[in-house]
Structure 1
Protein backbone atom coordinates (compact mmCIF):
# COMPACT_ATOMS: atom_id res chain seq x y z
CA UNK A 1 0.00 0.00 0.00
CA UNK A 2 1.51 3.33 -1.08
CA UNK A 3 1.90 6.21 1.34
CA UNK A 4 -0.63 8.94 0.49
CA UNK A 5 0.07 12.61 1.11
CA UNK A 6 -2.40 15.48 0.83
CA UNK A 7 -0.65 18.66 -0.26
CA UNK A 8 -2.49 21.98 0.20
CA UNK A 9 -0.77 24.84 -1.63
CA UNK A 10 -2.36 27.67 -3.65
CA UNK A 11 0.79 28.49 -5.64
CA UNK A 12 0.45 26.24 -8.69
CA UNK A 13 4.11 26.12 -9.77
CA UNK A 14 5.43 25.68 -6.23
CA UNK A 15 2.82 23.05 -5.45
CA UNK A 16 3.55 21.09 -8.60
CA UNK A 17 7.28 21.13 -7.88
CA UNK A 18 6.69 19.81 -4.34
CA UNK A 19 4.29 17.15 -5.66
CA UNK A 20 6.86 16.04 -8.26
CA UNK A 21 9.56 15.85 -5.58
CA UNK A 22 7.41 13.71 -3.31
CA UNK A 23 6.31 11.42 -6.13
CA UNK A 24 9.96 10.84 -7.03
CA UNK A 25 10.35 9.60 -3.44
CA UNK A 26 7.60 7.05 -4.06
CA UNK A 27 4.71 8.87 -2.36
CA UNK A 28 1.24 9.19 -3.82
CA UNK A 29 0.33 12.91 -3.75
CA UNK A 30 -3.08 14.56 -3.92
CA UNK A 31 -2.50 18.24 -4.71
CA UNK A 32 -5.19 20.76 -3.68
CA UNK A 33 -5.15 24.53 -4.20
CA UNK A 34 -7.83 25.59 -1.71
CA UNK A 35 -8.98 24.43 1.71
CA UNK A 36 -12.44 23.29 0.64
CA UNK A 37 -10.97 21.01 -2.01
CA UNK A 38 -8.61 19.58 0.60
CA UNK A 39 -11.43 19.03 3.11
CA UNK A 40 -13.49 17.24 0.47
CA UNK A 41 -10.50 15.05 -0.36
CA UNK A 42 -10.23 13.91 3.29
CA UNK A 43 -13.85 12.74 3.13
CA UNK A 44 -13.22 10.78 -0.06
CA UNK A 45 -9.88 9.17 0.79
CA UNK A 46 -7.52 8.28 3.64
CA UNK A 47 -4.14 10.01 3.87
CA UNK A 48 -0.97 9.22 5.80
CA UNK A 49 0.28 12.82 6.00
CA UNK A 50 -0.97 16.36 5.48
CA UNK A 51 1.34 19.07 4.09
CA UNK A 52 -0.54 22.34 4.53
CA UNK A 53 -0.03 25.96 3.55
CA UNK A 54 -1.86 28.45 5.78
CA UNK A 55 -2.93 31.33 3.51
CA UNK A 56 -5.08 29.51 0.96
CA UNK A 57 -8.55 30.31 -0.47
CA UNK A 58 -11.95 29.26 0.94
CA UNK A 59 -10.73 27.49 4.10
CA UNK A 60 -7.33 28.51 5.48
CA UNK A 61 -4.86 25.86 6.58
CA UNK A 62 -5.34 26.50 10.30
CA UNK A 63 -9.14 26.24 10.09
CA UNK A 64 -8.83 23.11 7.98
CA UNK A 65 -6.68 21.24 10.49
CA UNK A 66 -8.85 22.47 13.37
CA UNK A 67 -11.91 20.95 11.67
CA UNK A 68 -10.10 17.68 10.99
CA UNK A 69 -8.87 17.36 14.57
CA UNK A 70 -12.37 18.10 15.88
CA UNK A 71 -13.54 15.15 13.77
CA UNK A 72 -10.94 12.86 15.44
CA UNK A 73 -8.66 12.89 12.40
CA UNK A 74 -5.18 12.25 13.83
CA UNK A 75 -3.29 12.18 10.53
CA UNK A 76 0.10 13.88 11.15
CA UNK A 77 0.46 17.34 9.64
CA UNK A 78 3.34 19.60 8.62
CA UNK A 79 2.76 23.26 7.81
CA UNK A 80 4.66 24.75 4.88
CA UNK A 81 4.31 28.47 5.51
CA UNK A 82 5.81 31.89 4.94
CA UNK A 83 4.47 33.07 8.31
CA UNK A 84 7.14 34.27 10.71
CA UNK A 85 4.86 35.31 13.59
CA UNK A 86 5.34 33.23 16.72
CA UNK A 87 1.62 33.49 17.51
CA UNK A 88 0.59 31.88 14.23
CA UNK A 89 3.09 29.05 14.60
CA UNK A 90 2.05 28.49 18.22
CA UNK A 91 -1.57 28.25 17.10
CA UNK A 92 -0.58 25.66 14.50
CA UNK A 93 0.91 23.42 17.19
CA UNK A 94 -2.02 24.00 19.56
CA UNK A 95 -4.41 22.83 16.83
CA UNK A 96 -2.45 19.62 16.37
CA UNK A 97 0.34 20.08 13.83
CA UNK A 98 3.46 17.99 14.37
CA UNK A 99 5.97 20.15 12.49
CA UNK A 100 6.42 23.16 10.23
CA UNK A 101 8.85 24.49 7.63
CA UNK A 102 9.22 28.18 6.86
CA UNK A 103 9.30 29.15 3.18
CA UNK A 104 11.65 29.20 1.42
CA UNK A 105 12.94 25.86 2.66
CA UNK A 106 15.40 23.26 1.45
CA UNK A 107 13.47 20.53 -0.35
CA UNK A 108 15.74 17.83 1.01
CA UNK A 109 14.84 18.96 4.53
CA UNK A 110 11.18 18.45 3.64
CA UNK A 111 11.92 14.89 2.52
CA UNK A 112 13.87 14.14 5.71
CA UNK A 113 11.13 15.51 7.97
CA UNK A 114 8.42 13.73 6.00
CA UNK A 115 10.10 10.34 6.37
CA UNK A 116 10.83 10.97 10.06
CA UNK A 117 7.25 11.93 10.88
CA UNK A 118 5.82 8.97 8.98
CA UNK A 119 8.13 6.60 10.87
CA UNK A 120 6.99 8.03 14.21
CA UNK A 121 3.32 7.90 13.31
CA UNK A 122 3.42 4.24 12.24
CA UNK A 123 4.15 3.10 15.77
CA UNK A 124 1.09 4.81 17.28
CA UNK A 125 -1.50 4.43 14.55
CA UNK A 126 -3.55 1.54 15.98
CA UNK A 127 -5.83 1.35 19.01
CA UNK A 128 -7.73 -1.77 19.97
CA UNK A 129 -10.54 -3.01 22.18
CA UNK A 130 -10.34 -6.79 22.04
CA UNK A 131 -10.41 -7.85 18.38
CA UNK A 132 -11.73 -4.43 17.30
CA UNK A 133 -9.01 -2.03 16.16
CA UNK A 134 -8.96 1.39 14.60
CA UNK A 135 -6.06 2.10 12.26
CA UNK A 136 -5.68 5.88 12.51
CA UNK A 137 -3.07 5.96 9.79
CA UNK A 138 -5.37 4.50 7.14
CA UNK A 139 -8.65 5.60 8.77
CA UNK A 140 -10.14 2.11 8.85
CA UNK A 141 -11.63 -0.32 11.37
CA UNK A 142 -10.45 -3.92 11.65
CA UNK A 143 -12.22 -6.83 13.34
CA UNK A 144 -9.59 -9.51 13.63
CA UNK A 145 -7.92 -9.52 10.21
CA UNK A 146 -11.02 -8.27 8.38
CA UNK A 147 -11.53 -4.61 7.44
CA UNK A 148 -15.05 -3.29 8.08
CA UNK A 149 -16.28 -1.04 5.23
CA UNK A 150 -17.29 2.01 7.30
CA UNK A 151 -18.03 5.51 6.04
CA UNK A 152 -16.10 8.44 7.53
CA UNK A 153 -18.76 9.23 10.16
CA UNK A 154 -19.07 5.55 11.10
CA UNK A 155 -15.30 5.41 11.48
CA UNK A 156 -15.36 8.56 13.65
CA UNK A 157 -18.03 7.00 15.85
CA UNK A 158 -15.98 3.82 16.21
CA UNK A 159 -12.95 5.91 17.20
CA UNK A 160 -15.05 7.59 19.89
CA UNK A 161 -16.16 4.22 21.29
CA UNK A 162 -12.68 2.70 21.32
CA UNK A 163 -11.21 5.81 22.94
CA UNK A 164 -13.84 5.41 25.67
CA UNK A 165 -14.14 1.61 25.78
CA UNK A 166 -16.08 0.43 28.81
CA UNK A 167 -17.25 3.98 29.56
CA UNK A 168 -20.55 5.65 28.70
CA UNK A 169 -20.48 7.63 25.46
CA UNK A 170 -23.29 10.15 25.71
CA UNK A 171 -25.47 11.23 22.81
CA UNK A 172 -24.01 14.72 23.17
CA UNK A 173 -20.47 13.34 22.78
CA UNK A 174 -21.54 11.56 19.59
CA UNK A 175 -23.17 14.67 18.14
CA UNK A 176 -20.08 16.78 18.93
CA UNK A 177 -17.76 14.24 17.29
CA UNK A 178 -19.78 13.61 14.12
CA UNK A 179 -21.36 16.97 13.29
CA UNK A 180 -20.45 20.65 13.40
CA UNK A 181 -22.32 22.92 15.85
CA UNK A 182 -24.21 24.61 12.99
CA UNK A 183 -25.83 21.36 11.81
CA UNK A 184 -29.28 20.38 13.06
CA UNK A 185 -29.06 16.79 14.30
CA UNK A 186 -31.77 14.56 15.77
CA UNK A 187 -31.38 11.61 18.11
CA UNK A 188 -32.79 9.53 15.26
CA UNK A 189 -29.68 10.31 13.22
CA UNK A 190 -27.51 9.09 16.08
CA UNK A 191 -29.49 5.84 16.25
CA UNK A 192 -28.98 5.27 12.53
CA UNK A 193 -25.19 5.30 13.00
CA UNK A 194 -25.36 3.18 16.15
CA UNK A 195 -27.45 0.57 14.34
CA UNK A 196 -24.99 0.55 11.46
CA UNK A 197 -22.13 -0.22 13.86
CA UNK A 198 -24.17 -2.96 15.55
CA UNK A 199 -24.83 -4.60 12.18
CA UNK A 200 -21.12 -4.84 11.49
CA UNK A 201 -19.58 -5.65 14.88
CA UNK A 202 -22.50 -7.36 16.64
CA UNK A 203 -25.38 -5.78 18.56
CA UNK A 204 -24.18 -7.29 21.84
CA UNK A 205 -20.99 -5.20 21.75
CA UNK A 206 -22.78 -1.83 22.06
CA UNK A 207 -25.03 -1.50 25.11
CA UNK A 208 -27.80 1.09 25.23
CA UNK A 209 -27.75 3.12 28.46
CA UNK A 210 -31.34 4.34 28.44
CA UNK A 211 -31.70 8.10 28.34
CA UNK A 212 -27.95 8.69 28.47
CA UNK A 213 -26.04 7.08 25.63
CA UNK A 214 -24.15 3.90 24.79
CA UNK A 215 -21.18 1.82 25.96
CA UNK A 216 -18.78 -0.36 23.98
CA UNK A 217 -18.34 -3.62 25.90
CA UNK A 218 -14.62 -4.39 26.40
Structure 2
Protein backbone atom coordinates (compact mmCIF):
# COMPACT_ATOMS: atom_id res chain seq x y z
CA UNK A 1 0.00 0.00 0.00
CA UNK A 2 1.37 3.43 -0.97
CA UNK A 3 2.18 6.04 1.63
CA UNK A 4 -0.50 8.72 1.91
CA UNK A 5 0.45 12.40 2.14
CA UNK A 6 -1.60 15.43 3.16
CA UNK A 7 -0.43 18.57 1.32
CA UNK A 8 -1.56 21.96 2.67
CA UNK A 9 -0.88 24.60 0.00
CA UNK A 10 -3.14 27.52 -0.94
CA UNK A 11 -1.40 28.17 -4.29
CA UNK A 12 -3.45 25.83 -6.49
CA UNK A 13 -1.04 25.69 -9.44
CA UNK A 14 1.98 25.08 -7.20
CA UNK A 15 0.10 22.54 -5.12
CA UNK A 16 -1.12 20.59 -8.14
CA UNK A 17 2.41 20.48 -9.57
CA UNK A 18 3.66 18.91 -6.30
CA UNK A 19 0.77 16.45 -6.34
CA UNK A 20 1.63 15.37 -9.90
CA UNK A 21 5.26 14.68 -9.05
CA UNK A 22 4.50 12.85 -5.81
CA UNK A 23 1.86 10.70 -7.45
CA UNK A 24 4.41 9.73 -10.11
CA UNK A 25 6.60 8.60 -7.21
CA UNK A 26 3.82 6.31 -6.05
CA UNK A 27 2.44 8.41 -3.18
CA UNK A 28 -1.24 9.02 -2.59
CA UNK A 29 -1.76 12.76 -2.07
CA UNK A 30 -4.68 14.84 -0.75
CA UNK A 31 -4.36 18.56 -1.52
CA UNK A 32 -6.00 21.08 0.81
CA UNK A 33 -5.99 24.83 0.24
CA UNK A 34 -6.86 25.95 3.77
CA UNK A 35 -6.10 24.74 7.25
CA UNK A 36 -9.69 23.91 8.17
CA UNK A 37 -10.14 21.51 5.26
CA UNK A 38 -6.76 19.96 6.13
CA UNK A 39 -7.89 19.43 9.74
CA UNK A 40 -11.12 17.87 8.50
CA UNK A 41 -9.15 15.47 6.30
CA UNK A 42 -7.09 14.25 9.27
CA UNK A 43 -10.31 13.09 10.91
CA UNK A 44 -11.41 11.23 7.78
CA UNK A 45 -8.10 9.69 6.66
CA UNK A 46 -4.92 8.24 8.10
CA UNK A 47 -1.83 9.92 6.63
CA UNK A 48 1.81 8.85 6.70
CA UNK A 49 3.18 12.38 6.22
CA UNK A 50 2.07 16.01 6.35
CA UNK A 51 3.48 18.68 4.00
CA UNK A 52 2.37 22.04 5.37
CA UNK A 53 2.58 25.61 4.16
CA UNK A 54 2.42 28.19 6.96
CA UNK A 55 0.47 31.18 5.63
CA UNK A 56 -2.80 29.63 4.51
CA UNK A 57 -6.45 30.68 5.05
CA UNK A 58 -8.70 29.83 8.03
CA UNK A 59 -6.17 27.89 10.14
CA UNK A 60 -2.49 28.64 9.53
CA UNK A 61 0.01 25.80 9.25
CA UNK A 62 1.51 26.37 12.70
CA UNK A 63 -1.85 26.40 14.48
CA UNK A 64 -2.87 23.29 12.55
CA UNK A 65 0.15 21.28 13.67
CA UNK A 66 -0.24 22.54 17.23
CA UNK A 67 -3.82 21.24 17.28
CA UNK A 68 -2.79 17.90 15.78
CA UNK A 69 0.04 17.40 18.26
CA UNK A 70 -2.29 18.30 21.14
CA UNK A 71 -4.51 15.46 19.90
CA UNK A 72 -1.49 13.08 20.04
CA UNK A 73 -1.20 13.00 16.25
CA UNK A 74 2.54 12.40 15.73
CA UNK A 75 2.43 12.07 11.94
CA UNK A 76 5.83 13.17 10.47
CA UNK A 77 5.64 16.75 9.20
CA UNK A 78 7.67 18.81 6.73
CA UNK A 79 7.04 22.55 6.38
CA UNK A 80 7.30 24.19 2.96
CA UNK A 81 8.08 27.82 3.81
CA UNK A 82 8.73 31.08 2.03
CA UNK A 83 11.85 33.10 2.83
CA UNK A 84 10.09 35.58 5.15
CA UNK A 85 8.72 32.72 7.27
CA UNK A 86 12.13 31.39 8.32
CA UNK A 87 11.89 33.19 11.66
CA UNK A 88 8.80 31.10 12.43
CA UNK A 89 10.65 27.82 12.09
CA UNK A 90 11.85 27.72 15.69
CA UNK A 91 8.22 27.82 16.71
CA UNK A 92 7.42 25.09 14.19
CA UNK A 93 10.05 22.75 15.62
CA UNK A 94 8.90 23.48 19.17
CA UNK A 95 5.41 22.42 18.13
CA UNK A 96 6.69 19.18 16.63
CA UNK A 97 7.81 19.68 13.01
CA UNK A 98 10.41 17.24 11.69
CA UNK A 99 11.92 19.09 8.72
CA UNK A 100 11.46 22.05 6.36
CA UNK A 101 12.23 23.24 2.86
CA UNK A 102 12.46 26.88 1.85
CA UNK A 103 10.58 27.96 -1.27
CA UNK A 104 11.50 27.83 -4.07
CA UNK A 105 12.91 24.34 -3.65
CA UNK A 106 14.10 21.51 -5.87
CA UNK A 107 11.34 18.92 -6.12
CA UNK A 108 13.92 16.11 -6.16
CA UNK A 109 15.20 17.33 -2.79
CA UNK A 110 11.66 17.21 -1.42
CA UNK A 111 11.31 13.60 -2.55
CA UNK A 112 14.64 12.67 -0.92
CA UNK A 113 13.58 14.31 2.34
CA UNK A 114 10.20 12.58 2.29
CA UNK A 115 11.76 9.15 1.85
CA UNK A 116 14.37 9.85 4.53
CA UNK A 117 11.77 11.01 7.05
CA UNK A 118 9.49 8.04 6.39
CA UNK A 119 12.43 5.66 6.86
CA UNK A 120 13.36 7.31 10.18
CA UNK A 121 9.85 7.20 11.57
CA UNK A 122 8.89 3.74 10.36
CA UNK A 123 9.10 1.31 13.23
CA UNK A 124 9.31 4.07 15.85
CA UNK A 125 5.60 4.72 15.76
CA UNK A 126 4.31 1.73 17.73
CA UNK A 127 4.13 1.12 21.48
CA UNK A 128 2.69 -2.14 22.79
CA UNK A 129 1.46 -3.69 26.01
CA UNK A 130 1.20 -7.38 25.26
CA UNK A 131 -0.84 -7.68 22.07
CA UNK A 132 -2.37 -4.21 22.55
CA UNK A 133 -0.54 -1.59 20.47
CA UNK A 134 -0.90 2.04 19.49
CA UNK A 135 0.27 2.86 15.97
CA UNK A 136 1.09 6.59 16.21
CA UNK A 137 1.82 6.89 12.51
CA UNK A 138 -1.54 5.61 11.37
CA UNK A 139 -3.46 6.83 14.44
CA UNK A 140 -5.03 3.51 15.32
CA UNK A 141 -5.14 0.98 18.16
CA UNK A 142 -4.47 -2.69 17.40
CA UNK A 143 -5.20 -5.76 19.48
CA UNK A 144 -3.34 -8.56 17.82
CA UNK A 145 -4.17 -8.23 14.12
CA UNK A 146 -7.49 -6.47 14.78
CA UNK A 147 -7.85 -2.70 14.55
CA UNK A 148 -10.20 -1.40 17.24
CA UNK A 149 -13.01 0.87 16.11
CA UNK A 150 -12.55 3.90 18.36
CA UNK A 151 -13.58 7.54 18.33
CA UNK A 152 -10.87 10.20 18.43
CA UNK A 153 -11.17 10.68 22.20
CA UNK A 154 -11.21 6.92 22.78
CA UNK A 155 -8.03 6.65 20.70
CA UNK A 156 -6.41 9.48 22.66
CA UNK A 157 -7.33 7.89 26.00
CA UNK A 158 -6.16 4.44 24.93
CA UNK A 159 -2.88 5.92 23.74
CA UNK A 160 -2.39 7.71 27.06
CA UNK A 161 -2.93 4.45 28.95
CA UNK A 162 -0.60 2.46 26.69
CA UNK A 163 2.21 5.01 26.88
CA UNK A 164 1.92 4.98 30.68
CA UNK A 165 1.30 1.24 31.07
CA UNK A 166 1.80 0.04 34.61
CA UNK A 167 1.62 3.59 35.96
CA UNK A 168 -1.36 5.51 37.28
CA UNK A 169 -2.96 7.80 34.70
CA UNK A 170 -4.66 10.46 36.78
CA UNK A 171 -7.99 12.04 35.96
CA UNK A 172 -6.15 15.34 35.49
CA UNK A 173 -3.89 13.75 32.84
CA UNK A 174 -6.95 12.43 31.04
CA UNK A 175 -8.70 15.80 31.11
CA UNK A 176 -5.59 17.60 29.81
CA UNK A 177 -5.28 15.11 26.94
CA UNK A 178 -8.90 14.78 25.84
CA UNK A 179 -10.32 18.25 26.43
CA UNK A 180 -9.29 21.89 26.19
CA UNK A 181 -8.91 23.92 29.42
CA UNK A 182 -12.12 25.86 28.71
CA UNK A 183 -14.32 22.75 28.64
CA UNK A 184 -16.17 21.61 31.77
CA UNK A 185 -15.62 17.87 32.29
CA UNK A 186 -17.13 15.54 34.90
CA UNK A 187 -15.81 12.28 36.31
CA UNK A 188 -18.83 10.67 34.70
CA UNK A 189 -17.64 11.66 31.25
CA UNK A 190 -14.27 10.00 31.89
CA UNK A 191 -15.98 6.84 33.15
CA UNK A 192 -18.00 6.63 29.93
CA UNK A 193 -14.80 6.50 27.84
CA UNK A 194 -13.08 4.10 30.26
CA UNK A 195 -16.06 1.71 30.13
CA UNK A 196 -16.07 1.88 26.35
CA UNK A 197 -12.40 0.86 26.25
CA UNK A 198 -13.02 -1.95 28.73
CA UNK A 199 -15.64 -3.32 26.34
CA UNK A 200 -13.05 -3.37 23.57
CA UNK A 201 -10.00 -4.82 25.38
CA UNK A 202 -11.45 -6.53 28.46
CA UNK A 203 -12.35 -5.01 31.80
CA UNK A 204 -9.48 -6.74 33.61
CA UNK A 205 -6.86 -4.74 31.67
CA UNK A 206 -7.90 -1.33 33.06
CA UNK A 207 -7.77 -1.03 36.84
CA UNK A 208 -9.64 1.74 38.65
CA UNK A 209 -7.48 3.48 41.26
CA UNK A 210 -10.28 4.87 43.41
CA UNK A 211 -10.40 8.67 43.53
CA UNK A 212 -7.14 9.01 41.55
CA UNK A 213 -7.33 7.55 38.07
CA UNK A 214 -6.68 4.36 36.09
CA UNK A 215 -3.88 1.96 35.27
CA UNK A 216 -3.40 -0.29 32.25
CA UNK A 217 -2.03 -3.74 33.10
CA UNK A 218 -0.85 -6.47 30.73
- Fold equivalence (TM over 0.5): yes
SS in 2 for 1:54: coil
Contact 1:84/1:102, CA 8 A, preserved across alignment: no
Could you tell me which runs of 5 or more consecutive residues in structure 2 were left unpaired when the two chains were aligned. Answer: none
RMSD across aligned positions (CA): 1.2
Give 1:96's aligned residue: 96
Give 2:217's aligned residue: 217
Give 2:206's aligned residue: 206
SS in 2 for 1:56: coil
Structure 2 distance, partners of 1:145, 1:28, is 24
Structure 1 distance, partners of 2:89, 2:48, is 22
Q: Tell me: CA distance 1:193–1:147, structure 2 relative to 1, closer, same or farther (3 Å).
A: same
Structure 2 distance, partners of 1:208, 1:165, is 13
SS in 2 for 1:78: strand
Contact 1:49/1:77, CA 8 A, preserved across alignment: yes
Give 2:68's aligned residue: 68
SS in 2 for 1:5: strand
Return the TM-score normalized by structure 2.
Answer: 0.96
Give 1:153's aligned residue: 153
Contact 1:79/1:99, CA 8 A, preserved across alignment: yes
Give 2:54's aligned residue: 54
Structure 2 distance, partners of 1:128, 1:22, is 32
Structure 2 distance, partners of 1:16, 1:169, is 45
SS in 2 for 1:118: helix
Structure 2 distance, partners of 1:83, 1:183, is 38
Structure 2 distance, partners of 1:6, 1:184, is 33
2:17 aligned with 1:17 = yes
| Deviation sequence 1:5-60 (CA, Å, 0-9, x none) | 11101111111111111111111111111111111111111110000000011111
SS in 2 for 1:75: coil
| Deviation sequence 1:100-136 (CA, Å, 0-9, x none) | 0000000111111011101111120111011111111
Structure 2 distance, partners of 1:86, 1:30, is 25
| Deviation sequence 1:62-107 (CA, Å, 0-9, x none) | 1111111111111000000104455311111111100000000001
2:192 aligned with 1:192 = yes
Structure 1 distance, partners of 2:17, 2:87, is 29
Could you tell me which runs of 5 or more consecutive residues in structure 1 were left unpaired when the two chains were aligned. Answer: none
Give 2:82's aligned residue: 82
